[in-house]
Amino acid sequence: DAMVIQNPRYQVTQFGKPVTLSCSQTLNHNVMYWYQQKSSQAPKLLFHYYDKDFNNEADTPDNFQSRRPNTSFCFLDIRSPGLGDAAMYLCATSRDPIQTQYFGPGTRLLVL
Amino acid sequence: AQKITQTQPGMFVQEKEAVTLDCTYDTSDPSYGLFWYKQPSSGEMIFLIYQGSYDQQNATEGRYSLNFQKARKSANLVISASQLGDSAMYFCAMRDYGGSQGNLIFGKGTKLSVKP
């Protein structure tokens, strides 16, 4: 059974049109992460939540926001997608910040 | 600063043979963890194996083993009896436990192709 679920698997949006990606988990983990992975590159951490505490990476653009309404769900909002935001977006969870991270299947975002 | 280096952009291996994927790391923190992930073309990052800096023995998980050489700062992944389904990108990653909330640092990855 899937433990970290991401919806949708593929998302097409228009330049400048806000888009929301969803992540849910059945592991009851305290930490949820969002990564951006561009073609042929390593994943890049955007931000993470440790319980309700939000931790933004210093170089994450303001265009990217996140919400975690409860333990199970976490959302990635891209306020005004640009062509350079086309990428795979990976959600991951861990029990605490030093434990192993488990990833979802990812959402491939295409910006037209 | 922390750094993970994977020097092999691509590797080929014959089915049923063993293959070693190289990973070297750099950190000044004595307490850290090393991870290997597999990423098939579908995109999901699959956790394979973990090695802690204080672990005395090399980690093993089924056909995966981690050749941990602390003095050389290397953490190579060994896959025994390769299968066609092993064809994927493989990422080495490190997390130190003294820094900013233990974020994972990834290498650039190695693309493994298993030939029938």
Q: Is A90 close to B45, i.e. CB distance below 8 A?
A: yes
Let me know if A86 is exposed, middle or buried by CB neighbors in 10 A (0-12, 13-18, 19+): middle
A4 band by pLDDT with thresholds 50, 70 and 90: very high
Res B99: pLDDT:
55
Q: What is the mean pLDDT of residues A51-77?
A: 94
Q: Is B102 close to A102, i.e. CB distance below 8 A?
A: no
Token pair listed for B81: 């009896």
Q: What is the mean pLDDT of residues B29-46?
A: 93
B86 band by pLDDT with thresholds 50, 70 and 90: very high
CA distance B24 to chain A (A): 16
Measure CA A60 to chain center: 12
Q: What is the mean pLDDT of residues A7-33?
A: 95
Computed from CA positions of residues B60, B29, B22, B9, in that sequence, does the dihedral angle turn out positive or negative? positive
Q: Is B102 close to A98, i.e. CB distance below 8 A?
A: yes
**A81 touching B (Cβ < 8 Å):** no
Res A103: pLDDT:
95
Q: What is the number of CB-based contacts under 8 A between chain A and chain B? A: 45
A111 band by pLDDT with thresholds 50, 70 and 90: very high
Q: What is the mean pLDDT of residues A1-29?
A: 93
Res B2: pLDDT:
82
Res A1: pLDDT:
67
Which helix (H) or strand (E) element contains residue A78? strand A73-78
Q: How far is CA B23 from CA A17, A95, A99, B51, in A?
A: 40, 26, 20, 13
Of B33, B101, B107, the CB nearest to A42: B107
